[in-house]
Structure 1
Amino acid sequence: MSGTSAGKTNAGNFFEDFTVGQVIEHATPRTITEGDRALYQALYPTRFALPSSAEFARSVGLAQHPVEELIGFHVAFGKTVPDVSLNAVANLGYAECRFHQPVAPGDTLRTSSEVIGLKQNSNGKTGVVYVRSTATNQRGEVAIDWCRWVMVHKRDTDAPTPETVVPDLKDALDAQDLKIPAGLDFTAYDQAAAGEQHRLGDYEVGEKIDHVDGVTLTDPEHMLATRLWQNTAKVHFNAEARPDGNRLIYGGHVISMARALSFNGLANAQLIAAINAGAHTSPAFAGDTVYAWSEVLDKAETAAPGVGAMRLRLVATKGRDESMTLRGEDGKYADGVLLDLDYWVLVPA
């Protein structure tokens, strides 16, 4: 077209545009509102008492009524997409994610990322980019930080292959690494309001919990959710971005759906303290029905009064798997597994 200038638009970064040690300041700070809370509750079947009730939050010692941790995570994550994963094939995994403090309406998050690793794939057409991202609030305090790795297209397949650098990331954070919100106190915890009586001591390491309920994914809902987080990845919106013509559902949408479904059996898992690791093991598309189950991996006491920590594996599946099988005999993820998320939650002790 006559008079146009491609130099003023953003085509996103390709694999060869990244260098280890590069720091990217992501655009568009985002203020969290009560509208985010309401729309999140409309999108996902979440019923956890603490983010649902300001009175419940006050009763457990929190000065402000926080939103769900995953709202902050999705917003902070969305900031990174135009610079890190606009040209991604897929987001591959997460590690070392800590929620340093609750995010409440009125907080403004902005995000920066450091490139901590690069590995070109053998096909020469794509590579894996590892970043450590940090979201800070309006006071300059760290709200959330995490690592993730994403497979990104190369712009030029003849571009030089960078030196392979794969960061050494923790398999899991220790319980003492968790940040407990200031003032949190579960000694007067209202089990009736929470909807469940099971406390830390009622769960056993190795126990599996079938969350029973399922939700069928739709294109309008997942695209609305992804736009809410200002996530601009093409594969979620543009039917021409994938050879099969399907819009890939944002992995975070599946995480939030599975977390919400986990209420049935884990209603007292009020706060997410950390995400140790996460893998989107298969793509999800509109029409898939998501179910979830959890496995208790570890338990620990914390210094906060009445507050325990429980490490869980949250598994989302396409179709219900009553056998709750994560991997087959060959060691590969079982058919239908969409998400394998290892995370810490705070529960009444």
Structure 2
Amino acid sequence: MADTPCGIGIIGAGHIGRAHARTWRETPGAVVRAIADLLPERAHAVAQEFEIPHVYADYQPILARDDVQIVAVCTPPFAHCLPTVEALRAGKHVLCEKPFALRVDEAERMVAAARTAGRYLAMASARVRYGLGPEMARRMVAEGELGRIYHGRSTVMRQRGRPGIDILKESTWFLSKERAGGGALIDIGVYDIDLMLWLMGNPRVRSVSATIAQGIGEPRSDLVQEVEDHATVMCQLEGGASLVIESAWSSHLQGQTTRFVLGDRGGLRLNPLTFFGPPPPGERECTSRRVLPEGVEDQHQGGFAALTRAFVAAVRGEGPPPMTPAEDALVVTRVIAAAYESAAAGRPVIFE
């Protein structure tokens, strides 16, 4: 396998499928063999742009190809489960785009299929785990530099970034509850739930409370938006720790992206990765130091390209399993589902 590149098959040729085609083409040890989309003209356009030799209107021929070892599922979220399960049953390793699934039972089917097949299945939200900053933060937490972890928070607020309205205007399915599953939370909050639980050591989630808001910014006159612009989620974690996630497609605020983890001996803030320690004796202001060298950003050596490189290395037996494995993706799916249930019912959702 070491001298033979991994063949990649891409299911879905929309915006994210095109991004996958570009990144996989640039990934060492990988070659994109085929792409499929229900809209053949769209698949042909991506294939021509990235020199993909085989184009299909159905993904089944990709699963039948012996020269495809990895399948990237890049369909809209409502169509993630079936191609993922069928690709695994066909003996392929699968990188599924985020969100993993719209329903918990779908995610459970996907996890079970990966276990039965003995193949890798990971969620592409892992792109935010890769990078010097996140990986160093995870290491510092795991090695006890922060002490007992008691709180984490991620706040990501776009000013105007509603898919189907402000950006990706042709992708109107983002505004459909049935097709997208939700709005800002399931679209961009998925990254932060994944990242923050991982940074905090993957503690068990005990309960979820959430609120959502809609109607922030001018609507699109020819469409009905069925999903939220803003979501606030609080998770109670095993051992008494807490996690707060704030996600917004649209807000009246600038520069609000912050992520931090707090322990009883220190704290970490990302972008740039900074460690905060106790104040010197007799003082009140915490000490602080930048963890990475000046000029080195948190996402250095990370992002989507790092994710595809790591996935190929795992499949080739040259690296550890990919990050955000199916089991972690299932937890993220459960948190998102519980958040929407909590917001609708106006009460916390308690996990068994």
Structure with higher helix content:
2
Structure having the higher strand fraction is 1
| Alignment TM-score, normalising by the size of structure 1 | 0.29
